[in-house]
Structure 1
Amino acid sequence: MSHFTKYGKRMRLMLLTAMFVASMVCLFAIPFVEKNLLNNQVAYYRIEVNGTEVGAANSRADAAKALADARGRLSGIYPDVVYMEPEYTVIKESHLTAERMSEEELSDSIYSALFSSITDVNSQIAYMVRMDDATVTLASLDDVYTLLSRVEQQYDTQKEYTVQLNATGSSGDYTVSFEKTQTDASKDIVSAVLSGQASTTQEDGTVVHDGITSIDFAQNVTVSEVLLAKTGIVNVDTAYEAVTKSSENRVLYEVKAGETVESVASDYRIDKEQIYEWNTQLDTDSVLAEGEMITLSVPETLLSVVMTKRETYDEAYRATPQYIQDEEAQKGKNTIEEEGSTGTRKVTAEVSYINGRRTDTKIIDEKVQTESQPQVISVGTQSDSAYGLPVSGQFGGNVNNGVIWLAKERTSVYAAAEGTVTRTGWYADYGYCIDITHKDGSVTRYGHLDAIGVVKGQNVTAGQLIANSGSTGNCDEPCLYFELWINGSTVNPLRFIQ
């Protein structure tokens, strides 16, 4: 009995000792184990491009491979681009869990981020010259200056003015102006003598030389800095050819007092035969009267130089004609009643030019050597009916309550009666069209026009030239389509027109 009691006590003592040792182990070991377990986190690599996180990889090698793949894909799409070095960072991280990306996902993410770090080597800063709605682009401001100066100096042969490029408040934008070349007075006098320029002394004692008094471009010219593909940039020679290439432009010209077909042809530098060709109402016996409208074809360029020159010259001249109305003659039929005579005079004038073509002359001073006696011209005013024939052409039939007259392209079109222009411009199937409202409320309409010579709101007289015939709108051949509206409805014009 005593034996078992002793054994039991030893066993309890051993059990208590074991429990104490285990407790102490747990007390000291668990924190180390726990620390070791928590430190057993997942390691991964976070990737940033230009400071923005784009993904995570298992290793630096995977991150480098994804970057190389993204670059390769971009190079395949844009073979001619270079990369501006992006800020590319790989940062090691450790967490219990981590969202790592596959190589393909990481490559896609880097590929997207790299777009903002690409510069196209085929683009460069260039300078776009805008001339109204036309443009030409050069590589530098020096090229722009050379181009504009070259165009201007076609007509400013003495280099009296220089082109100026003026920076505006907007970065990279410039306006264009001209500045008179600064020379000292003695050089000015020598230059004037050598070039044959005349001079006059004004009342205040100032000596005024002939020469350019103003110069500018006809178009609104501005220059803007742009980023443009190299293929869109041209050299100065190519640009010069483009902006000075002529194309024919049809205009309606109002005859001034004393002008003849010959004088108009001379001023506009065109053959007088072309004037007859473009104005079927004229022949070699026709006499022009002040205020008549005729069609001219004049050259037009993308960039034109307008210039005013002070000129002194001797000329033969004709005094302003005297016009008398002839109520027995048809409109457009003018007759010379008295020939008058030619005189001679010395003139100082302000002469306006466009691309070297004289457009206007204002006489400042004249000294008459031989007087000119004026012509006397009778001007026909007679109209046979309320509505005159609007065009000279072959009758083509009635269409949709209107009348077609077959007429060559650019045949003159006249107002059928006195009235006010109430429509001009493109109008549906009529193409270019004019409406004139007359005093009795009726309306005449002129369709398929080629060129319009009146504006909305303008008052016109019967028989006044208002346009040229054409083939615009729903039209297969050159003609004039004419309608007459009475009380808001179309009527057959042939009932009212002779």
Structure 2
Amino acid sequence: MIRSSCFDRLRTVAILHTAAAAVFFYVLLMPGFRPFDIIPGAGEVVTVYMDGVEIGTLNAGIDTMELYREARREFSSEHGKLVFSEMPEFEFVKKAAFFCHTDSEKEITAKIKSRLESGIRDDLAPSYSIKVNGTVVTVKSAEEAGGVLKSAIERYDRDDAFDIELVKDSSREFNVLIPKIVDKNNSDADLSAPLAAGAGHIEEDLSVCEFKNSGEGFDSFDYCVNDIAFSDDVEIVESYLAAGEAADPELASSMLFDLQEVQQIYTVQKGDTLSEIALTVGLPLDEIIALNDSLENENSVIHPDEELIITVPEPELSVVWKETERVEEIYDLPTEYIYNDSWYTNHSEVITQPSAGCRDAVIMTTRMDDKEISREVLYEEIKAPAVAKVVEVGTIIPPTFIKPISGGRMSSPFGRRKKPKAGASSFHKGIDWATPVGTSVYASSGGTVVKAGWGSGYGYVVYINHPNGMQTRYGHLSKVYAKVGQTVKQGEVIAASGNTGVSTGPHIHFEILVGGTQVDPMNYL
């Protein structure tokens, strides 16, 4: 009885499973019934999210962005005017599936368009952006943009001879205007091309101030602003901003033409000092130190080619202009040089002292904003002639000096010291480096060996005379390889270090002499 009951229950379950399977496949085959898709191939689908909201699932092979473009076309066609909507962010999540409900392309397109409708911006108004390199300043209208640029040239256009015209750039897809600076009295003269700092004169057919006649003399010139231009390319681009976000013209002008602190790099030149650099760039020394981690204080050591950060006040956009002026001035002539091929470059002599002169002259001056960049004398009448300074200079590069050993520890610097032992001097005339006996000793600079052998308290020594009159000495040597009269090159091995003469331990003693007097070698190495 129990077995029969168990058997009946098993048979019932089997019948139910069979019936369910039949219903399942029947539903699959019913026309028009599609609760899910049978995904072909590997069975990959993509769930699409728009601004974080799920909008549907597609087969992996469908181009969702093409559906987005189609939604935009429909969106624009229905509105029939320029409408702004927030740019959506899409996210795509791919997954494997064999049976999965997917949305049709039409359904996804409709959902995207619905999301675009919800993002319509009706608070945007037309505006115009002035673009200079990477700087963008936006005002309400093209007229305001032109007025901002006109206000800059008015600072230097004393005779109100120039104007700004905005010309549409037909090569651009969007509405882009190019400001042209024109002469009011000569509309064909386009002066808007950027002028590089220190650029030469404009071409004759673009000159605003022409000579009155071909004869020379002060009456042959018009004295006025000849040329005016912006230092960089400028364009005005139509854009859209929310009400109240555009800058007023006065603020826009300040943002473009007022001085701003701009970081630049100054490369240290030979002979530079921190105080001289501060004077050259017009920046307080403590500010230069604060900007550069490599500088601890005003006594920090700087080296040629080292780069220092400095801040220079500069506007985003400058006005470059040229003016013809008549001036009576004190003037100097440029220095004249006589080159002597038998002197070193660090040797010079003044042959003639300069004397300033006086002249009445016509000057063409080029300025960037208020800073003079260059000037050219167009005509002059000398009242008192100037005398040029004449300097004779050498052309031969002087010898350099290197440390005479590799490694070693400085055990005694140049200058006064406590006597290390009896017989030693209390004033040290060179530098000592502690180093093992037998260390190679190199010629610090090229020259001729004038002594090689025993040198009393210095033990074994080598003396080398150099072409510029200086001499180097190497003492307490264990071996001497160089010979008197031998010409050696910089870096050539001349001896081996030792512990000979009056010495407290293995080391090399090194001297540099200028005019027969020992000097601190560290100033030359």
Please classify the TM superposition score into its range, dividing by the shorter chain length.
0.3 to 0.5
Q: State the TM-score, normalized to the length of structure 2.
A: 0.40
Using structure 1 for the length normalisation, give the TM-score.
Answer: 0.42
Larger helix proportion of the pair: 1
